[in-house]
C-alpha cells in the first residue's frame, strides 16, 4: 500500500517479522500462477523487536545469505514487495467529502492526524478510495495506511544493505487479506486471525475491503514460554513438547498453555464484541450481514487442536484459511514444494508475491 519507493520491474514478496523471514516469487503459467522460488529463515532474537530493527548489519547479512539459498528457481530479481510491521502501522477507513482523485492525497493529509497519534510529517501514508457511502452520497470511504518514517526508512536501508530494492512497502494485514479472501470479495464479513510467532493480528474484512485491524502480543512463542515456565524446562524442550502434543496430548502440556490460550480467547471475544457493536449502527463494517466465519493463519495456526479449542470456546465457525486461494485452482491448498501446514506460515509472503506479480 505504501508506494513510497517504486521500481518498475518484476519483484518478489519478502515478509520480515521479529523471528523469521520468508520470501515467495510467483510466475505466470499460461492463465494461472505457479510457485517459482521460496524460502524461510530464522531471525535470532533481538535483531528485530516489536517490528523495530535493532541490528541492521546482521539483518542485512541474513538477507544476503537468504538470496543464495532460495529453493526453486534461482532468484535473479532485486526488487521486492516488502512487509511492514503491523504493530508499528496504522490502518483505518475514514469518510471524506467528495473530491477528485488528484485531490485525494491532499485531502487525506489534512485529516489523517485525526486518526493517528503522530503528525503527518512523521509518517509515510497512502490512501485508496473504497466506494461512496450509499447512505451519504456526498462522502467517500477511504482506506488509509500510515507507518512512521523512521520505521520505513530503517527497512529501506537494510534492504539496500542486503542488495535489494524496495518496489513497494505494504502493511501485513493487506497482504494477509489478499492471500486468504477468494477473489478479494466476501458476501459475509470475515474475521481473519494471523497467529504468529510474536504477535496475533485481527482483521475484519467485509465486502471487498478491510474494515478494522488490531494486534496483540499473545503469540505462539508465548505458549512455548508458558510451557517452559510451568514445567521448568528450557525453551527448546518446551517448543518440542508444544509441537508434539499441542492441545490434544499430555494434560500437563495443555494445562501449561491455558493462561495464554485463555487470554487469546478473551481477546478474540473482545474483537467480536467490537464487530457486533457496530452491526446495527455502522453498515460500513458489516455490510448488512452477520459475521460469516473466522479464518486462521500464521505458523502458530498449526498447533494441534487449536481450531477445535477456539471453536468450542467462541461458538463461531472457524477454520484454517487457504493462503493459495487466489493462486491455485479451487480446492487446492498446497503445492509439492510447500505443504498446506507449511503454507500457513507463508500467508503474508504469498499475499506480497501476489501484489508483486499483479502490479
Give pLDDT tens digits for 81-125.
999 999 999 999 898 988 888 999 999 999 999 999 999 999 999
pLDDT > 70: percent of the chain: 92
Single pTM value for the model: 0.92
Domains of the chain: 183-324 (3.30.420.40)
pLDDT above 70 (res 50)? yes
pLDDT of residue 32: 87
What cell numbers appear for 212 in the block?
A: 478494522
pLDDT > 90: percent of the chain: 77
Who wins on pLDDT, 135 or 214? 214
pLDDT of residue 279: 57
pLDDT of residue 9: 53
Read off φ and ψ for residue 319, nearest 5 degrees: -150, 165
pLDDT of residue 268: 92
Confidence of residue 129 (pLDDT cuts 50, 70, 90): confident
pLDDT of residue 300: 95
Confidence of residue 283 (pLDDT cuts 50, 70, 90): low
* Residue 40 backbone zone (phi > 0: left; psi -120 to 50: alpha; other: beta): beta
pLDDT of residue 134: 53
The set of residues, in sequence order, having a beta carbon less than 8 Å from that of 189 and lying 6+ positions away, is 204, 205, 206, 207, 211, 275, 285, 286, 287, 289, 290, 291, 292
DSSP string, 153-172: HHHHHHHHHTT-EEEEEEEH
The set of residues, in sequence order, having a beta carbon less than 8 Å from that of 263 and lying 6+ positions away, is 218
pLDDT above 70 (res 259)? yes
CA 193 to chain CA centroid, Å, is: 9
Question: How far apart, in whole angstroms, are the C-alpha atoms of residue 173 and residue 180?
Answer: 11
Q: What's the sign of the alpha-carbon dihedral 238, 241, 247, 252?
A: negative
3-state SS class at 317: coil
Query: How large is the average pLDDT for residues 291-308?
Result: 94
Query: How large is the average pLDDT for residues 189-193?
Result: 94
Question: How far apart, in whole angstroms, are the C-alpha atoms of residue 91 and residue 10?
Answer: 27
Question: How far apart, in whole angstroms, are the C-alpha atoms of residue 155 and residue 199?
Answer: 19
Who wins on pLDDT, 265 or 187? 265
pLDDT of residue 3: 47
Question: How far apart, in whole angstroms, are the C-alpha atoms of residue 273 and residue 64?
Answer: 45
CA–CA–CA angle 196, 202, 206 (5° rounding): 135
pLDDT of residue 8: 46
What cell numbers appear for 39 in the block?
A: 524460502
> What is the chain's mean pLDDT, rounded?
91
pLDDT above 60 (res 281)? no
The set of residues, in sequence order, having a beta carbon less than 8 Å from that of 244 and lying 6+ positions away, is none
Query: How large is the average pLDDT for residues 118-140?
Result: 81
Read off φ and ψ for residue 178, nearest 5 degrees: -60, -35
pLDDT of residue 138: 78
Amino acid at each position: 500500500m505504501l508506494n513510497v519507493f517504486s521500481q518498475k520491474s518484476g519483484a518478489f514478496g519478502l515478509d520480515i517479522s521479529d523471528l523469521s523471514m520468508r520470501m515467495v516469487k510467483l510466475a505466470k503459467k499460461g492463465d494461472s500462477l505457479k510457485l517459482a522460488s521460496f524460502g524461510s529463515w530464522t531471525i535470532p532474537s533481538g535483531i528485530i523487536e516489536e517490528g523495530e530493527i535493532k541490528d541492521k548489519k546482521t539483518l542485512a547479512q541474513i538477507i544476503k545469505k537468504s538470496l543464495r539459498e532460495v529453493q526453486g528457481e534461482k532468484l535473479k530479481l532485486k526488487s521486492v514487495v516488502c512487509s511492514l510491521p503491523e504493530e508499528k502501522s496504522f490502518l483505518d477507513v475514514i469518510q471524506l467529502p467528495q473530491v477528485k482523485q488528484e485531490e485525494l492525497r491532499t485531502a487525506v493529509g489534512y485529516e489523517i492526524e485525526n486518526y493517528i497519534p503522530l503528525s503527518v510529517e512523521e509518517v509515510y501514508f497512502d490512501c485508496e478510495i473504497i466506494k461512496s457511502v450509499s447512505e451519504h452520497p456526498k462522502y467517500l470511504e477511504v482506506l488509509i495506511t500510515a507507518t512512521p518514517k523512521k520505521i520505513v526508512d530503517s527497512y529501506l536501508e537494510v534492504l539496500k544493505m542486503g542488495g535489494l530494492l524496495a518496489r513497494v512497502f505494504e502493511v501485513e494485514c493487506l497482504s494477509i487479506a489478499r492471500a486468504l479472501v477468494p477473489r478479494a470479495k466476501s458476501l459475509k464479513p470475515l474475521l481473519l486471525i494471523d497467529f504468529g510467532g510474536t504477535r496475533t493480528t485481527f482483521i475484519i474484512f467485509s465486502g471487498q475491503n478491510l474494515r478494522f485491524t488490531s494486534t496483540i502480543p499473545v503469540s505462539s512463542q508465548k505458549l512455548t514460554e508458558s510451557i517452559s515456565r510451568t514445567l521448568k524446562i528450557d525453551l527448546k524442550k518446551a517448543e518440542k513438547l508444544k509441537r508434539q502434543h499441542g492441545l490434544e496430548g499430555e494434560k500437563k502440556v495443555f494445562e501449561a498453555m491455558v493462561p495464554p490460550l485463555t487470554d487469546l480467547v478473551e481477546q478474540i471475544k473482545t474483537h467480536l464484541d467490537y464487530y457486533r457493536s457496530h452491526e446495527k449502527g455502522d453498515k460500513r463494517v458489516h455490510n448488512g450481514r452477520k459475521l460469516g466465519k473466522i479464518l486462521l493463519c500464521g505458523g502458530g495456526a498449526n498447533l494441534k487442536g487449536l481450531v477445535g479449542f477456539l471453536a468450542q470456546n467462541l461458538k463461531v465457525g472457524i477454520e484454517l484459511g487457504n493462503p493459495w486461494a487466489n493462486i491455485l485452482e479451487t480446492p487446492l491448498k498446497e503445492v509439492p514444494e510447500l505443504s498446506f501446514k507449511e503454507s500457513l506460515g507463508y500467508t503474508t509472503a504469498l499475499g506480497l508475491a501476489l501484489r508483486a506479480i499483479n502490479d
